[in-house]
């Protein structure tokens, strides 16, 4: 039997000031060029459910990305708005140069081209992102790095 939950207070309310395509463009600019305007989308009380941290996590993740990958490219498959949430589905393409992310296990740079699938959900309130969740293909990316070390 499927458990049902009552809708949140924001259910059915579409925050018209949030454009999912704009959020996606900002994500791409942040990923590919380190554009710091990305952080302007986040409330000061923002919570990242992946790391358990606040908006400072974006500076940490950006540093890990710069240290781990070169030639970052972000392919957005979909950007959608539903109620107060924006969903971004994407694939990051890059060249592996080091392993700064904790899940990378310290593997030396391989020079291998990798793909990193990701799905992000951001909850907005009053025009600012308040929460973030993600499902990423970290294991798949790690397997690509490990395979490159065996050649």
Whether residue 70 is contained in a domain is answered as yes
Judged against a pLDDT cut of 80, whether residue 2 lies above it is answered with no
| Measured distance CA(47)–CA(52) in Å, rounded | 7
- Would you say residue 11 has pLDDT above 90? no
- Structure confidence at residue 94 (pLDDT): 97
Q: How far apart are CA 33 and CA 40, in angstroms?
A: 16
Residue 98 resides in a domain = yes
The pLDDT of residue 150 is: 84
How many domains does the chain contain in total?
Answer: 1
Provide the residue range defining the domain that includes 50. Answer: 20-149
Alpha-carbon 1 to chain mean position: 32
| Core vs surface per residue 102-117: b (16+ CB within 10 A) or e | eebeeeebbebebebb
Q: Which long-range contacts (CB under 8 A, 24 or more apart) does 49-58 make?
A: 49/131, 49/132, 49/133, 50/132, 50/133, 50/134, 58/30
Say if 14 falls within a structural domain. Answer: no
User: Cβ(83)–Cβ(12) under 8 Å?
Assistant: yes
Query: Which two tokens mark 138?
Result: 């970290």
Distance (Å, whole) CA 17 – CA 137: 31
- Per-residue pLDDT band at 12 (split at 50, 70, 90): very low
List, for residues 46-75, the tens digit of each pLDDT value: 999 999 999 999 999 999 999 999 999 999
Domain contains 53: yes
Q: What is the mean pLDDT of residues 99-125?
A: 94
Residue 92 lies in a domain: yes
Residue 117 lies in a domain: yes
**Nearest Cα to Cα of residue 141 among 121, 103, 114, 106:** 114
Residue 7 is assigned to a structural domain of this protein: no
Any domain includes 10: no
Assign residue 81 the CATH number of its domain.
3.10.450.50
Strand partners, 136: 118
């Amino acid at each position: 039997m499927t458990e049902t939950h009552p809708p949140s207070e924001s259910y059915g309310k579409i925050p018209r000031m949030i454009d999912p395509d704009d959020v996606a463009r900002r994500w791409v600019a942040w990923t590919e060029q380190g554009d710091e305007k990305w952080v302007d989308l986040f409330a000061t009380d923002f919570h990242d459910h992946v790391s358990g941290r606040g908006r400072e996590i974006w500076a940490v993740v950006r540093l890990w990305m710069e240290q781990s990958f070169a030639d970052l490219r972000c392919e957005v498959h979909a950007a959608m708005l539903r109620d107060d949430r924006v969903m971004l589905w994407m694939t990051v393409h890059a060249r592996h140069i080091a392993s700064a992310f904790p899940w990378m296990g310290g593997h030396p740079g391989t020079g291998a081209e990798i793909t990193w699938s990701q799905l992000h959900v951001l909850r907005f309130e009053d025009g600012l992102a308040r929460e973030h969740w993600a499902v990423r293909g970290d294991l798949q990316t790690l397997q690509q790095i490990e395979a490159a070390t065996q050649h």
